[in-house]
Amino acid sequence: MTVLDDIIAGVREDLEVRRSAVPLEELKLRAEAAPAALDAYAALGGTAEPRTELKVISEVKRKSPSKGELASITDPAELARRYEQGGAAVISVLTEQRRFNGSLDDFDAVRAAVEIPLLRKDFTVDEYQIWEARAHGADLVLLIVAALDDAALRSFLKLTESLGMNALVETHTAEEIERAVAVGARIIGVNVRNLKTLDVDRSVFASLVGNIPPEAVIVAESGVRDADDVAHYAAHGANAVLVGEALVIGNQPEQAIADFSTAGAAAIAERLKG
């Protein structure tokens, strides 16, 4: 069993507990009553022409399977406010419990604290989670191509968009990018962390990004340690970066986000010159 398989097995178990407490029909009523989703595609620069800014998706992340405990984050709302003040375009909140020590309570706290789009970061394996995300005020959900067959990927993306949300469709290989493009994904992430082994290879991004059509927002995921890594991704075609660890272990997330944005914009300017 791979790391991804193990995580998904736990996600399914926890999902059944929540489904028993809140039936799907009740969840749908809550989703329909929630305020309309914010336009995350636009927030990430999808409507800009040309895309000259590097957008930062800042993550509320306590723990990871690869690094273990990262930060206690006793007040996720306060951290999120600092992200927003620092210029984050989107905030990602981990809600997976077992490996990331996240929760929907964290998500609710952040939703009440900020006014920018939120990504419900979890391992989506059932439509229940998509309705759940919308009911809690999510604007984006994560769809991992490696965790879904084509039918589920297409169905989940269609449901997500029908609820007014966007999906960050995560890929790791050229074949996964082809599948994401085939279902019409508009925000495509390239995760340089292999979810089967947890190894990080930053060179993967440059080798894969050329397979993504220009109309899609391209998000570089994992491996950001500093502004140089952000510049590297931006130079090779990233429109946005998703950053968790580098922000939560530092004491100045506002300055880090500003530095990432500046480095990314400079690298994009050089790329556009060419």
Active site residues: 59, 61, 121, 170, 191, 221-222
Residue 181's φ and ψ, nearest 5 degrees, are -65, -40
Peptide bond into 50 cis (omega under 30): yes
The CA distance from 263 to 246, in Å, is: 15
Secondary structure E strands in the chain = 55-60, 63-64, 68-69, 90-94, 118-121, 140-144, 166-171, 187-191, 217-221, 240-243
**Residue 186 one-letter amino acid:** R
Tell me the sheet residues that pair with 243. 58
The CA distance from 202 to 199, in Å, is: 10
